[in-house]
Every structure is written in C-alpha cells, then in structure tokens.
Structure 1
Amino acid sequence: MAVLSGRVHRHRFRWTEDDAFSGSSLYACHCGVVRPAL
C-alpha cells in the first residue's frame, strides 16, 4: 500500500505486456508502479 496525498492506495496490477528481455509478464498499476510476474 502507498499513501498518496493523505489517502491510502492499494495497487491494482493489470497485465500490460511481456518483457522481451526477461521473458516474464509485466503488470502495471494505474498510479504508474510496474512489476514483473512472480
């Protein structure tokens, strides 16, 4: 969770694309945080 301007934000990750370098999938939250698949 992150706190943005006094509000609590829970990341809601959605698949965006496959990473060409690692071969794993990338997931992004609407706030801009991106993470690879586990």
Structure 2
Amino acid sequence: MQFLFLLLDLGGFLHTLLYFCILKQNDVLVGIHGSKYS
C-alpha cells in the first residue's frame, strides 16, 4: 500500500516538473519573440 502512495507522489512530482519545463519554454519563446520585435 505504501508503494502505491510513493508511486502517486512520484507522478505528482513528475507532473510538477513537466509543468515548470513548459513554463520555462514559454518564457524562452516569449523572450525570443520579444527581442525580435522590440
């Protein structure tokens, strides 16, 4: 049972990591477009 909770915790962690990666990527894209048009 404890293993299941560990798995859920890992899933949540990976999901958070992915979310931050997407945010970072968006920041980079916005930065590139911003510097191009400024």
Coarse TM-score class (shorter-chain normalised): under 0.3
Structure in which a larger fraction of residues adopt strand: 1
Pick the structure with greater CA Rg. Answer: 2
Which structure shows the bigger proportion of residues in helix conformation? 2
Q: TM-score, normalised by structure 2?
A: 0.19
